Structure 1
Amino acid sequence: MDFFTAQDQARRKTGRLVVLLVLAVLALIVVTTLAVAVALYLMGGQSSAQADLSAQGMLSALSVELVAGVAVAVLAVVVLGGLFKRSQLRRGGRAVAEALGGREINLNTRDADERRILNVVEEMAIASGTSVPSVYVLEEESINAFAAGYQTNDAVIGITRGTIRNLNRDELQGVVAHEFSHILHGDMRLNMRLISILHGILIIGFLGSMLLRSMRFRRVGGGGKRDNSGAVVLALGAALMVIGYAGTFFGNLIKSAVSRQREYLADASAVQYTRNPQGIGNALVKIGANSQGSYLQATQTAEFSHLFFSQGMRVGFSQMMATHPPLKDRIKRVMPGWDGSFEVTSPTPHAENDAPESAENERPEAGLRMGVGVGPLTGTGVGTLTAVLTAASVQTAIGSMGQPDQRHLAQARATLDALPERIRTAAHEPYAARALMHALLLSQDQTMRQHQLKVLQQVAIPDVYQALMEYGPDVLKLDIALRLPLIELALPALRSLSMQQAQHFRLCMERLIEADGEVSLFEWTLYQLLLNNLSEQSSGPANLKLNDLQRECQMLLAVLAAAGQDDADEISAALNAAESELPFRLTATDDVSDMRGLSLAVERLRRLKPLHKPALLQAMARCIEHSGRILPAEAELFRAMADILDCPMPPLLFDKPLDVNEA
């Protein structure tokens, strides 16, 4: 299943789930109305002996006003309860991780286990074209993990201590690839919405519990023979509690059924990403062999049970309530030859884990030696990432969206190795990460660069400015192909900024961009990338078609065509190539410097329906490949634009090495 089909299906599945849950709420309204009618009838001044307890007598208390009143009350409780939970989870994955007792791993940690999982997550993020998510560790001895968040810019990966201690690198990569499948295919957002909706239904049960607890302070029947109000309130509280938990039961059945199917798909995707079924397969085997299994002790486990890599809690007598398929079924699907034994035959974890990370990178499958398509990445200066990028490179990247493979993982690892160690380390520290982003905006012209530094010094935090002076020269020498990975690598540190720090960082970026009196395309792209990944912005529902956005497509493609060449005929040829992928005509425009207009156009383009985005991406691809050869700057711009449009684009694979003197 390709990325856009998966996104569209997740979107449609959300609608179907809402319908099913609305039916559950309607059932709750009916049952609650009957319970309230019975309670009102019994409180109607009759003694228990005189009350007509027949069905006809009970139904006589029903009225249109009663039904409407109960319906409004139940809907209000469910909606307000859901909105309350949504507000609690407004920070996305971080809120879930912290609710489970997780601790964010320090990006410069010296713990070997934590360093290993951070490296695996960074590689997978860069290979899939997404921003690097924050990683949280749960101090649990079980083997489990989860991905949580509404979108990639607020996603986190959570992982238990038992997982990073007991799994080797290949197994960790299989688990992380499974979680990235949930991120890329829209499961993560669907799961977060389910949490809020089910919480709204559960509130009815909470109200029943409150009514029952209130009876501790009131003696039942204490007002005389005819006063049975206490007993009625007791009965009503019990009824509401049963009704609420019954609604939650059926809601959980829906949640579990959806979750089980998506787990099979995520397992298959993990095998596709890594081309190593033994990785995720052996991780599942180790869960079966582990004394703690995959069960968590956190009090919030039940609420978030459908987010986990494996079953987070015991399901009792019925497999219907299981959020995950049986462990043996999952293992057999990825390793058909498995003998059914949970004996661990792989190397002991600490024997492998104690090896330094550099030794991992020296393995034959690492870097250039992993397979075809990985170019020479040295990171020693401008012009060193020398390779040929062609139309095949772009088509492979588009076709691999949401499903990167071992070639992209190899190139991601090689890219990280190409970054100078001190720059890679600096990207993990909030002050230095800000300095690195500032450095990317510095001009190659020395006079202009000095002017930019003077402007920045007036507003920058002294420690950030000092870090800029330290790392700026190295950033200026970075190859173009390393700039986007550096941005992705710095995002977790930048997300840790407080609101005030983030606002000040944005001000400094704006001052640097405005220092020369104009906004270049790279400056606009960098700013939009950071804005897209660091701010809680929403473009609205994705319900627009390409034909609704002809002017916006025209503006974006005109800018992209002009970015690769200055000749008017070449620009026209690029637009003609792009036009072949669209249902309307394109015309050249004289003004491609209106970056504010481009921002508004991109904001609208983000609202394209998932199945309409491939045509736009193909048109963008035709723009940069029409000459037969793609420059690194064009490849970087293409991937950055795709990211801004919420289309995570894997790295463009190099077809063959290119002589340094040709670059």
Structure 2
Amino acid sequence: MDFFTAQDHARRKTGHLVVLLILAVVALIAVTTLAVAIALHFMNGGQSASHSNLSSQALSSQGMLSSLSIELVAGVAIAVLAVVVLGGLFKQRQLGRGGRAVAEALGGREINMNTRDADERRILNVVEEMAIASGTPVPSVYVMEEEGINAFAAGHQPSDAVIGITRGTIRNLTREELQGVVAHEFSHILHGDMRLNIRLVSVLHGILLIGMLGGMLLRSMRFRRMGGGKRDNSAVVILGLGAALMLIGYAGTFFGNLIKSAVSRQREYLADASAVQFTRNPQGIGNALVKVGAHSQGSYLQASQAAEFSHLYFSQGVRLGLNQMMATHPPIKDRIQRVMPDWDGRFEPSWPSPQAEDETPDSTDEKTRPGLGLGLGSESGVKTGVLAAVLTGASARTAITSIGQPDQRHLAQARATLEALPERLRTAAHEPYAARALMYGLLLSEDQAVREHQLEALQQIALPDVYRELTQLAPDMVKLDIQLRLPLVELALPALKSLSVEQAQHFRLCVERLISADGQVSLFEWTLHQLLLNNLTEQDSRSSHLKLSDVQHECQALLAVLAAAGQDDADEITAALKSAESELPFALHETGDVGDMQALSLVVERLRRLQPLHKPALLQAMARCIEHSGHIRPAEAELFRVMADILDCPMPPLLSDET
């Protein structure tokens, strides 16, 4: 299943989930109405008949049916809907911060990006490599102080995703095994599983509230006096109604968990296969699963809310006993045999000592080390270090086919990119003050007069500590290879996401002041601003329902900007648009001002709403446009990848023909 089909499948799964929810709520209304009717019949029977004939009257089907009415059904329906919907919305609001809310609910602690703990440093390195290789924003990493071997990815979308991992995982797994586990979790990020998983949590919580309401009724009886005479059977009725509601609610939760488990098991097989494709190393994830089976704690978590999020984990996180129907993951032996068919069936792994591996990749000879021959070129065409290769049209087309399906070449490219980044800048990207300074530095103009005007404006509003960091990092920023700008931004995202609301607002003000300092907005300034907005601000959740035919004007405007970024001659711009037109179901024509970045911002807001299966054609048209000249300029590559990010299509790094 390719990325766009998987994305559409996840969207349809959400629709199926809504249908199942409606059916579950209808069933809850019917059963709850019957329970209330019986309770009312008991109460009426207690007031109009003696205690001696109460039993026979209560059993009269005609008497019970007479308690039913349109008003009763409507009242119960409204009450049940209110409980389920409000309960789901309450849980959804609790999880509004995305993956961070899940990680904190499970007792996770965010790992400091500048940690000196060797185990934590190693997992951060692995996550950074995987993120840059897959084209997703670098997620924050949370560690749970649990001995079991487990992990999870959680969030509404890639921009708010986090990776959670237990102490037992980072302590007991080798680097290649960690790669396998993290690649598995990135598959859930890439294929839209996270959003579906969090919606499942909200839905099940709403249904569970019916049972919780019944429990509250039962507990309230402790404070009720049981007197009132022989004919007052209201206490018995309330007890019965409370027990019925508990049974109804927990039965609904039971069947909801069955649905959750069935959905989750199939996605786990896909994630295992994706991890093998990503790393090209079945032993990585396979041996990690063997260690889960051999570990004394397995993959079990002790957190009080572990069961609520059981379908998010790398492996089964809660003990099931004999109730295997509730398993959210396939049997571990089946998973191992799928990725390692020659496995002998024995759980006999070798356990590393804490110092068994260095926190960085193996320092093999540069000639044989993967990734060091890969790279990109600078704006001027001058080759710079290991990132010295030319991007061609094939680079863009390969990147599109690799969306959601990165492989070892992209992982090697990511490693080479991280190694090419100056150590000082890479360290700065991990610290909130310095990360802001880096973003300001990327926005400084090459024109000396404009640069001085920007610095003067920034000094008036920026925090003194951040401005000081900027002046200290400026020499390294000036020498930064242009192809390293985007990876540097991606590395800085976790630190920028940790800003408070007030800090984030001030950061945005400074960014906008720098961009507007010279009275115009360059394409790179717009691209960087859009990338920061897309990943640091909450995006609305309007559905993706538009078709390409609905956004002809928007496609025209975007492709015109892209054509102008790669060609200087008007005839060549027209030819680039003609090339892009071959991938679209409508014609493109000459456009007006391609420098209106404000208008372009409105354009991309509409393009966000494209249906998943309509996105490939637009991306292919963009690829045709930027490949027209025979090579891809850095500005084109950056805009191409940022637009893919905005369209919720994480694009791996563009590879040169030398890879």
Same fold flag (TM > 0.5): yes
Shift of 1:473: 2.1
Counterpart in the other structure of 1:35: 35
Contact 1:562-1:571 within 8 A present in 2 as well: yes
Q: What's the CA shift string for 1:267-292, capped at 9, x where partnerless? A: 01101101100000000000011000
Moved more, 608-617 or 311-320: 311-320
Shift of 1:122: 0.4
2 CA distance for matches of 1:607 and 1:442?
33
Counterpart in the other structure of 1:516: 518
- Which residue, out of 485, 488, 493, partners 1:486? 488
One-letter amino acid of the counterpart of residue 477, structure 1? K
Q: What's the CA shift string for 1:29-60, capped at 9, x where partnerless? A: 11111110000000001445323213333222
Query: Aligned ranges for residues 116-265 of structure 1 at < 5 Å?
Result: 116-220=122-226, 222-265=227-270
Moved more, 15-24 or 601-610: 15-24
Contact 1:134-1:156 within 8 A present in 2 as well: yes
2 CA distance for matches of 1:604 and 1:635?
22
Determine helix, strand or coil for the equivalent of 1:656.
coil
- Among the aligned pairs, what percent are the same residue? 77
Shift of 1:227: 0.6
Query: Aligned ranges for residues 85-96 of structure 1 at < 5 Å?
Result: 85-96=91-102
Structure 2 residue 457 is matched with structure 1 residue 455: yes
One-letter amino acid of the counterpart of residue 104, structure 2? E
1:3/1:197 CA distance change after superposition, 3 Å: same
1:252/1:367 CA distance change after superposition, 3 Å: farther
Structure 2 unaligned blocks of 5 or more: none
Contact 2:372-2:416 within 8 A present in 1 as well: no
Determine helix, strand or coil for the equivalent of 1:608.
coil
Moved more, 633-642 or 100-109: 633-642
Structure 1 unaligned blocks of 5 or more: 658-663
1 CA distance for matches of 2:326 and 2:368?
46
Query: Aligned ranges for residues 313-392 of structure 1 at < 5 Å?
Result: 313-345=318-350, 348-353=352-357, 355-357=358-360, 360-363=361-364, 369-370=369-370, 374-375=374-375, 383-384=383-384, 385-392=387-394
Shift of 1:72: 0.9
Structure 2 residue 288 is matched with structure 1 residue 283: yes
1:491/1:424 CA distance change after superposition, 3 Å: same
Shift of 1:303: 0.6
2 CA distance for matches of 1:152 and 1:471?
29
- Which residue, out of 401, 406, 409, partners 1:407? 409
Shift of 1:541: 1.1
Query: Aligned ranges for residues 472-483 of structure 1 at < 5 Å?
Result: 472-483=474-485
Q: What's the CA shift string for 1:97-117, capped at 9, x where partnerless? A: 000000000000000000000
Counterpart in the other structure of 1:50: 53
Structure 2 residue 434 is matched with structure 1 residue 428: no
Shift of 1:63: 1.2
TM-score (norm 2): 0.96
One-letter amino acid of the counterpart of residue 362, structure 1? S
1:313/1:377 CA distance change after superposition, 3 Å: farther
Structure 2 residue 306 is matched with structure 1 residue 301: yes
Contact 2:299-2:315 within 8 A present in 1 as well: yes
One-letter amino acid of the counterpart of residue 270, structure 2? L
One-letter amino acid of the counterpart of residue 175, structure 2? R
Shift of 1:375: 3.1
Determine helix, strand or coil for the equivalent of 2:146.
coil
2 CA distance for matches of 1:539 and 1:259?
23
Determine helix, strand or coil for the equivalent of 2:508.
helix
Counterpart in the other structure of 1:580: 582
Counterpart in the other structure of 2:628: 626
1:372/1:427 CA distance change after superposition, 3 Å: closer
1:2/1:50 CA distance change after superposition, 3 Å: same
How many matched pairs? 650
Determine helix, strand or coil for the equivalent of 1:388.
coil
Q: What's the CA shift string for 1:309-346, capped at 9, x where partnerless? A: 0001011212111111111111111111111100114x
2 CA distance for matches of 1:13 and 1:209?
32
Q: What's the CA shift string for 1:459-507, capped at 9, x where partnerless? A: 1000010001011221122111100000000000000000100000000
2 CA distance for matches of 1:49 and 1:631?
92
Determine helix, strand or coil for the equivalent of 1:298.
coil
2 CA distance for matches of 1:84 and 1:577?
50
One-letter amino acid of the counterpart of residue 352, structure 1? A
Determine helix, strand or coil for the equivalent of 2:354.
helix
Q: Alignment RMSD, CA only?
A: 1.7
Counterpart in the other structure of 2:25: 25
2 CA distance for matches of 1:48 and 1:89?
51
2 CA distance for matches of 1:2 and 1:322?
27
Determine helix, strand or coil for the equivalent of 2:308.
coil
Q: What's the CA shift string for 1:156-214, capped at 9, x where partnerless? A: 00000000000000000000000000000000000001111110000111111111111
2 CA distance for matches of 1:133 and 1:361?
24
Shift of 1:633: 2.9
One-letter amino acid of the counterpart of residue 34, structure 1? L
2 CA distance for matches of 1:356 and 1:525?
34
Shift of 1:448: 1.6
